[in-house]
């Protein structure tokens, strides 16, 4: 849960220490919603999303197709 007491917020509400991981796929013209959990050490993603974003040497064939 983010410091806002919500699970997700729109980009205009994000602050520099909020996770910028998008959590939805809006239709054209829709609003992207972001995780907004607290980030550490100047990173743009929270710990959970940092682990998903940076996976060294991992290749998933089903995602490459």
In this prediction, residue 9 carries a pLDDT of 80
In this prediction, residue 64 carries a pLDDT of 57
DSSP 7: S
Place of tokens 């100047």: 42
- Digitized pLDDT (tens) for each residue of the chain, 65 residues in all: 555 555 678 888 888 899 999 999 999 999 999 999 999 989 999 999 999 888 776 666 666 55
SS3 52: helix
Tokens of 51: 């682990």
In this prediction, residue 22 carries a pLDDT of 92
Domain ranges of the chain: 1-65
With contact defined as beta carbons under 8 Å apart, do 12 and 28 qualify?
Answer: no
* Residue 62: C-alpha distances to residues 33, 49, 55, 56, 59 (Å): 26, 20, 16, 17, 9
In this prediction, residue 19 carries a pLDDT of 92
Q: What is the pTM of this model?
A: 0.69
């Amino acid at each position: 849960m983010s410091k806002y007491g919500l699970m997700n917020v729109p980009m205009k509400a994000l602050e520099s220490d909020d996770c910028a991981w998008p959590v939805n796929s809006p239709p054209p013209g829709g609003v992207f919603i972001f995780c907004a959990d607290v980030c550490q050490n100047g990173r743009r993603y929270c710990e959970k999303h940092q682990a998903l974003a940076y996976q060294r040497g991992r290749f998933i064939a089903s995602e490459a197709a």
